[in-house]
Every structure is written in structure tokens, then in C-alpha cells.
Chains A and B, each alone.
Chain A
């Protein structure tokens, strides 16, 4: 019986590609023998647009990069500009930034684990995960009005102080989240089918992870202990007591488990931040027209997806001369073509979901 390899297209419109991403698979029966990733279907030219906007006008654009973790993107960008201008952010704003960034991390990981279970066929898990996330959306919209894109962090602080109802609701949410996470674990993590479909699938070894420049939960699941909040702390992260979650096997299950553990660590950080939150202003004295001195700056933070970096080159004018965004999803996605060969089509979907990419950040 003669057989032939088949080339199929998991096209830009596909329910499991997490956005407009095209994957061309070479199949031998059901086993994938090779793949070609074609990103670029959401390339909006943000780096060129930045050269036409002032520094403050670009903050809403950072929201739309990785649209599931907008607060973190905002944070990275404003911290880069503040580094360039040597602005000191008030203490209350620093603590608020930590609270919102960690809440955003929980929201992002909920979507990641929910859609990961959805791609494996578990339709119930994603409903639970999105329901938990709605409480976080309530907290965000109470403060700054937005549900998905916030424009909350500004150069020199944050834009609004929290309303009086925020802290009680946040405390309720943290307790609720711990119980909900236990409920989600009972539903999903211990499930035999889930474990059979994710343990041992899509193993990324630690050498390969380092060679491909991975970062974030994908890297820590392969055994490399590198968390920007610990290795190169920014803001006030040195004051908090938390651990970087590292596992060894590097398979899909470990990448999922690292995200679950990170939700628990974020809850710990938020509790400490709420306990130590000082009074005071939330915005520093910043000049109305921001014109940084000639020079360049680079700043990177721990986005929920990985290490997000902003490289700003200024020529003394009100608009940046060059802005480059080091996008973690773009770098993480490059490893997909390397680890796909040898797995079944259903496993390819699981591997892609476990890498947790967002196409707005791959920039297509």
C-alpha cells in the first residue's frame, strides 16, 4: 500500500489557533512530520505608529499588544519612560501598580488554563475560568472604567486612585479565588483524560528552551529558574515574599501547572501589598510636554507570557525616534516548529495551547 504525505493548512481562521495564526502541517497519516508557522495576520505596525505619537499617546497602544494582560504592558512602557526621565513614582502608586499587575497575571493565567482545557475538548472548564475572571474585570472597571483595555498606568503613577469599595471587594475576591482554584483543580487537574493528554506531550528540554530564548512560564516549566521579578527586580518587587515556580519535565502538563502555581503566588503578593498599602498621592509631578533627553533606554518586566521589553531611542523631541518592543509571545512561538514533528494532530493543538501565545503580541 503506497502512502503519501499530506500538507494541510490550519488556516488563519481556526477555533484552536488562539487568534489569526496559520500553521502549515505536513502529515503522514495522523502524525505531523513537520510544520511551518506563518504569523503576520495581525501585524498592525505598532513600531512605526509609535514614531507618530507622543510618549503619553502611545500608552493605549500598549494595551492592545497583548490584549489579555494590558496592565502589564502599560507598566512596562511607563516604567521605561520614567527610567529615561528619572521620575520617582509615589509609594502608593507603586503598591497600586503591583496590585493591578498581579491581578492581571491571575486574569491572564485563568484564560490560559481555561482555553487550554477547551482546546483539549473540555467545554466546562473554560466557563468556570471565565466566570472567575469576571470578578477581576469588575475590580478593574470599578477603578478605571475598562474591562479589557485600561490605559490605567500613566507616566509618573497611575491615573485614578482606587474607590472606597475596592479593598473590601479585593479581599473577598482573594478568598473566593483560593476556593475557586481548588474547585478548578478538582475539575481539571486530577482528571485522568486531561493527564493522559498532557503528560509527556511536547517536551521542551532545558537546553532547547535556553537556546530559543524562551521566558515566562514556558521556561520555568523546563527547569530554568529565571523570573524577572526575582532576577532583575523592577519597581518594588524586592519587598515581597514569593517564590518563582519551577518544574522539571517541560511537557504540557508542567506548563499548565506552573500557571496554576503562579496564580497562588500572585494571591500571596496581593495580600502583602494590600497589607502595606500607604496613603498618599498617586501621580508624581510630571511636565506637561514630555521631552526626554537624547539617548536610549531599555526596560523589561515579567509579563504573564514572558519577558516583555521596551527599547526607546529619543532624539529630544516629543515623539520617540525608535520604539522597539521585545515581545515574549513572538520569541516563544518560534520553538513550535522545532517541537511539533512526531506528535499527532490533536497533540499539536495541545502544544500550541500550552505555549499560551496571543497574536496581538506576536504582532501577527
Chain B
């Protein structure tokens, strides 16, 4: 199941490469990869989150599945820590709307093209991004 998905991705789009059991995608190719996956029948955006590696970068993790087929693809994209900006996938799956707002709330990653990027779980005037490793309450 895993091998079949990732090789077809690697063939179709330049720049993606397999890393453990996920696919590493450069940030510029993200929308292209996601659109391609949606066309192939991956209609279930299961999870969208981020990890803070303290060495100057975040990693966005997207978990994409299908309701009808048993396949699953995990996409990872690296974002630099200083000015984290990632294109939004709301146009592809509406489920990304609230998930991206949560990642913005917790990490401060700005999603370009999001229709309503405001804090969702914390107060609107909260200072700081709690899930960053250098957060001081």
C-alpha cells in the first residue's frame, strides 16, 4: 500500500522524495501535490499539524486518506522558523479551515490564502504561540 502511492507521486511531480514512511515535499510544490492527490481520489484530509524542531524549522504534517480505498499518504513540508508562511489547502479540502487556524494559533505559521486566519482556541489578544518550544507563559 505505501510503496505504490509514493512511487507514483515521485514520478509525477519533481522534487518530492520519500522519507521513512512519509513524503517530503518542498513548500512551493505543496498545492500541486495536494491537488494531484485530490484528483486521484484522496478525498479525506484526516489530519493537519506541525512539529517544532528547535533547529530553525517547523515541519508541517498532512495526513491524507480516502474514504473508499485503504490508502494513506503522509506529506511533510519544511518551513523556516523566522517567517513561517505556507500556502493554504482550504481550496482543496474544506476540512483544512479549522485545522489550519489551530496550527496558526499554536505555532504562528501563517497560511497564505486562508479566508479567516484568526485564533481559534485561545483569546484573540493572547501573546505568544504556546506549542513552540521557546514559549514562556
Contact = CB atoms under 8 A, between A and B. Distances in A.
Contacts of B52: 322
Interface in B59-80: 61, 63, 67, 70, 74
B86 to A, nearest CB: 17
Interface residues of A, number: 32
Given A211-B43, A231-B70, A311-B61, A331 B99 contact: yes
B46 A309 contact: yes
A323 to B, nearest CB: 10
A307 interface: yes
B95 A212 contact: yes
B95 A39 contact: no
Interface in A275-312: 295, 298, 300, 307, 309, 311
B46 A364 contact: no
A210 interface: yes
Pick the most buried of A213, A295, A331, A334: most chain B CB atoms within 10 A of its CB. A213
Interface string A92-132: 00000000000000000000000000000000000000000
A311 B122 CA distance: 22
Nearest to A42: B121
A212 B94 contact: yes
A333 B46 CA distance: 14
Interface stretch (A43-51, A73-81, A251-259): A43-51
A307 B46 contact: yes
Interface in B28-59: 43-47, 49, 51-52
Interface string A37-77: 00110010101100000000000000000000000000000
Nearest to B105: A40
Contacts of A40: 119-123
A210 B121 CA distance: 24
A311 B49 CA distance: 10
Contact of B67 (A43, A224, A300, A333): A224
B51 A210 contact: no
A363 interface: yes
Contacts of A313: 51
The listed residue with most A CB atoms (<10 A of its CB), out of B67, B106, B122, is B67
A331 B98 contact: yes
A218 to B, nearest CB: 13
A340 to B, nearest CB: 15
B30 to A, nearest CB: 18
B88 interface: no
A48 B74 CA distance: 23
B120 A211 contact: no
A114 B44 CA distance: 30
A83 interface: no
Contacts of B51: 313, 321-322
B46 to A, nearest CB: 7
Contacts of A321: 51
A184 interface: no
B130 to A, nearest CB: 6
A114 B65 CA distance: 33
Given A43-B121, A45-B130, A334 B47 contact: no
Given A213-B93, A231-B70, A298-B63, A311 B47 contact: yes
Interface of B: 20, 43-47, 49, 51-52, 61, 63, 67, 70, 74, 93-95, 97-99, 102, 106, 119-123, 130-131, 135
Given A309-B47, A313-B51, A321-B51, 13 more contacts: A48-B131, A210-B44, A211-B94, A298-B47, A298-B63, A311-B47, A324-B47, A324-B49, A326-B47, A330-B98, A331-B99, A333-B98, A363-B121
13 contacts: A40-B119, A40-B120, A40-B122, A43-B122, A210-B67, A298-B63, A309-B47, A311-B47, A322-B52, A326-B46, A326-B49, A334-B94, A334-B95
Interface of A: 39-40, 43, 45, 47-48, 210-213, 224, 226, 231-232, 295, 298, 300, 307, 309, 311, 313, 321-322, 324, 326, 330-331, 333-334, 338, 363-364
6 closest Cβ contacts across the A-B interface?
A: A213-B95, A40-B121, A334-B98, A43-B121, A326-B47, A324-B49
